[in-house]
Amino acid sequence: MTHSDASPDTGSEQARREEELLERVLRSYDACADPRLKELLQGLVRHLHAFIRDVRLTEEEWQKAIEFLTRVGRITDGKRQEFVLLSDTLGASMQTITVNNQAYGDATEATVFGPFFVEDAPLIRLGGDMAGEASGEPCWVEGTVRDTDGNAVPGARIEVWEADADGFYDVQYGDGRTAGRAHLFTGPDGEYRFWAITPTPYPIPHDGPVGEMLTAAGRSPMRASHLHFMVIAEGYRTLVTHIFVRGDELLESDAVFGVRKSLIKDFERLPAGTPPPDGRALDGTWSKVRFDIVLAPSGAAPQEEPPH
């Protein structure tokens, strides 16, 4: 077979040159003294070269990618982390979480942390209100924290945070308010309960290069409605997760791939006038949800071999 100068030669000489370059780059990292760093760098080189060769990346496309990453860097500052959004929207955050929170018995699945957690959220009592001044329909949340043998975990620290009915976290208002976040501790039987607001959908920040990427790809920046949890207890793997609302039409298209089937819960909507569990005076509708949490022991070895 003959080729003109402009047509790609994907035959043996071309493949040999590409392979030779890859091997040379790999060898240049052979002397790396830190074995883990060596594994990471050589793995990255292998996969990056495979990608370039696989899609037959053009020089113009590579230049565009570099310009895109430069813009991701420029918009990133102490408050805006566009690289994390990029990782989230490429599914890399969720895959890293999946790899590092190996399935263990019926332990509750983990999902993305997101950028809106704040340390030192107010302490509420069991049955207290984490909503504060956040707008939204009241939602009663209750459940237990147990280990994988079914034993209660008393004194577990539960952090909860969520966006208000307008789709904003308190920190996004920039006026120093604290609303829609709190922490509480499980009682002697591992039980917990609190008032929140019924979760509503909201977009991830999409006014930067990651938003442009989503638009170009025909993807939505919307996250499925959710309520964030982080559960911390001595001797257990810290769980970072959310619960999602069954029936939410965004469950299949969550912008950051955070939805797990096991985390979709029934939020029962109750008509105005239905007495709430704690006798709180409410004028309008409210909802309730149950979320029973199971913690894996810390340092838990996976029960199945991960795929290679």
Write out the residues near ligand BEZ by the rule CB under 6 A.
Answer: 85, 88, 112, 114-116, 204, 223, 256
Place of tokens 């959908």: 201
Q: Which does 193 bind (CB under 5 to 8 A by kind): Fe ion, ligand BEZ, none?
A: none
Q: Which residue is nearest to ligand BEZ (CB)?
A: 114
**Should residue 190 be labelled a site residue for Fe ion when binding is judged by CB under 5 A?**
no
114 binds Fe ion (CB under 5 A): yes
Which pair of structure tokens corresponds to residue 33?
């003294």
Which two three-digit tokens encode residue 215?
């638009």
Contact of 94 with 112, CB cutoff 8 Å = yes
Q: Which stretch binds Fe ion (CB under 5 A): 64-72, 114-122, 249-257, 292-300?
A: 114-122
* Least spacing, CB of residue 225 vs Fe ion, in Å: 9
CA angle 274/276/280 to nearest 5° reads 115
Helix (H) or strand (E) holding 21: helix 12-28
Q: Which residue number is nearest to Fe ion in terms of Cβ?
A: 114
Q: Choose the one of ligand BEZ, Fe ion, none that binds residue 256, judging by a C-beta under 5 to 8 angstroms depending on kind.
A: ligand BEZ
Q: Which two tokens stand for residue 93?
A: 């955050």
As given in the structure block, the two tokens for residue 131 are: 């909503």
Q: Which does residue 122 bind out of Fe ion, ligand BEZ, none, counting CB within 5 to 8 angstroms by kind?
A: none
Distance CA 88, CA 114 (A): 9
Residue (29 or 168) nearer to Fe ion, CB: 168
Distance CA 280, CA 289 (A): 16
Of 297, 228, 226, 242, the closest CA to residue 109 belongs to 242
Task: Name the residue nearer to ligand BEZ (CB basis): 190 or 211.
Answer: 211
In order of 108, 159, 164, 190, the CA distances from 144 in angstroms are 12, 14, 25, 5
Q: Which is nearer to ligand BEZ, 127 or 205 (CB)?
A: 205
Nearer to Fe ion, 146 or 265 (CB): 265
Give the nearer residue to Fe ion in terms of CB position, either 147 or 162.
162
Q: What are the residues facing 144 on neighbouring strands?
A: 191
Q: Name the CA radius of gyration of the chain, rounded.
A: 24
CA–CA separation, 73 and 212 (whole Å): 15
C-beta of 85 vs 124, nearer to ligand BEZ? 85
- C-beta of 241: minimal distance to Fe ion in Å? 11
Binding range to Fe ion, per CB under 5 A, among 111-119, 125-133, 185-193, 253-261: 111-119
CB nearer Fe ion, residue 114 or residue 136: 114
196 contact choice in ligand BEZ, Fe ion, none (CB below 5 to 8 Å, kind-dependent): none
Stretch that binds Fe ion, among 48-56, 112-120, 144-152, 182-190 (CB under 5 A): 112-120
Kindly state the smallest distance separating residue 88's Cβ from ligand BEZ, in Å: 5
The C-alpha atoms of residue 56 and residue 61 are separated, in whole angstroms, by 10
Binding site for Fe ion (CB under 5 A): 114
